[in-house]
Amino acid sequence: MTEDNIRVVLVHPTHPGNIGGVARAMKNMGLTRLVLVEPREHPAPEARWRAASAGDVLEAAQVVATIEEAVAGAQFIVGTSARERRIPWPVQDARRCGERIHSHARGGEQVAIVFGREDRGLLNEELELCNLHCHIPSHEAYPSLNLAMAVQILCYEVRMAALGTSEGTEEDAVWDTPFAPAEDMARFYQHLEETLVQIGFLDPQAPRQLMRRLKRLYNRVRLDEMELNILRGILSETQKQRR
């Protein structure tokens, strides 16, 4: 599977809570291969607690001594970097990195996503192992993301790439009732206008923009058939009051 070709590498993580947070962030997005390069504290209760139901990812984490071991076999390596480098390296934002990671992994390649220390990130010689540097476009007021948060964003972008972006763009794509056809809407507007005249809210001699505004409202929303029935039921009850 594509996801099995992707590993997340943490270089010298200091806080076990972050390791647990990373495990959860990965599993939430369908990734499971975690590699730890000389973690300061592992395993640790705080990591277990933060991992929640991703304890399996945490327990299966591979612990190695060097970043070279961690990326062994990897054919496409992405390193996350906050700082400017004296020698520019190929760099792309998290979205494009997610797409490229997914694309390489789907093609059967081994991919490593490498994250640095909480305080100093990746060192120059570690960044030089990478094919691509990833930039998360944070705000200049406070650009430094928490380690697990950075992993979450990258894993999220990998998953978004895997799902493709062309799905479910309409907000009412999942609905419980068919939307009402034009002829039913026309009957509803007639019923509405008639009722408004009867209760004295609409003066046929001076209608102004009232019906136009109401049509804009209900056409904007697209009424489903049940909603249409409810509204017509209300109109009918209102008309009964009148008699």
Site for a copy of itself, rule CB under 8 A: 21, 24-25, 27-30, 50, 52-54, 87-88, 90-96, 132, 136-139, 141-146, 148-149, 152-153, 156, 159-160, 163, 165, 168-169, 171-172, 174-176, 196, 199-201, 210, 213-214, 217-218, 220-221, 223, 226-227, 230, 233-234, 237-238, 240-242
* Nearest distance from C-beta of residue 24 to a copy of itself, angstroms: 6
CA distances from 139 to 26, 131, 134 (A): 24, 25, 16
- Of 123 and 163, nearer to a copy of itself (C-beta) is 163
Rounded to an integer, what distance in angstroms lies between the CA atom of residue 57 and that of residue 61? 6
- Number of neighbours of residue 59 by Cβ within 10 angstroms: 12
- Phi then psi for residue 140, to 5 deg, are -65, -20
* Nearest distance from C-beta of residue 45 to a copy of itself, angstroms: 15
- Of 25 and 101, nearer to a copy of itself (C-beta) is 25
Peptide bond between residue 207 and the one before it cis (omega within 30 degrees of 0): no
* Nearest distance from C-beta of residue 155 to a copy of itself, angstroms: 10
Which tokens hold the place of 47? Answer: 């990591």
Do residues 224 and 179 touch, judged by C-beta distance below 8 A? yes
* Nearest distance from C-beta of residue 52 to a copy of itself, angstroms: 7
* Nearest distance from C-beta of residue 195 to a copy of itself, angstroms: 9
* Nearest distance from C-beta of residue 53 to a copy of itself, angstroms: 5
The residue type of 98 is G
- Of 88 and 108, nearer to a copy of itself (C-beta) is 88
CA distances from 95 to 100, 101, 171 (A): 9, 10, 22
- Number of neighbours of residue 188 by Cβ within 10 angstroms: 20
- Of 65 and 217, nearer to a copy of itself (C-beta) is 217
Instruction: Mark out the alpha helices in the chain (DSSP H runs).
Output: 16-28, 45-51, 55-59, 67-70, 94-106, 124-127, 147-163, 182-198, 210-221, 225-242
- Of 95 and 104, nearer to a copy of itself (C-beta) is 95
- Of 63 and 160, nearer to a copy of itself (C-beta) is 160
- Of 64 and 149, nearer to a copy of itself (C-beta) is 149
* Nearest distance from C-beta of residue 38 to a copy of itself, angstroms: 23
